[in-house]
């Protein structure tokens, strides 16, 4: 199973992915998230912080 999103914005892609979480296979145990080094150097937006707080 593979889900690929490319929008250049971490929070936008994460929001979309989490919004589709009900469609993820029940057997899914690992998510690998890959993004650019540039994204790592930017501070988290309020949306990103809120989304990360929702992840169990």
Cα–Cα distance for residue pair 28/22, rounded to 1 Å: 11
pLDDT at residue 24 in the model: 84
Cα–Cα distance for residue pair 42/2, rounded to 1 Å: 26
pLDDT at residue 12 in the model: 73
Local confidence pLDDT in tens for the 56 residues of the chain:
666 666 556 667 777 778 888 888 888 877 777 666 666 677 888 887 888 888 87
Q: Shortest CA distance to 50 belongs to which of 15, 4, 6, 9?
A: 15
pTM above 0.85, yes or no: no
């Amino acid at each position: 199973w593979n889900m690929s999103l490319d929008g250049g914005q971490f929070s936008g892609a994460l929001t979309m992915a989490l919004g589709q979480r009900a469609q993820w296979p029940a057997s899914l145990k690992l998510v690998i998230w890959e993004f650019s080094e540039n994204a790592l150097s930017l501070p988290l937006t309020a949306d990103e912080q809120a989304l990360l707080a929702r992840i169990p």
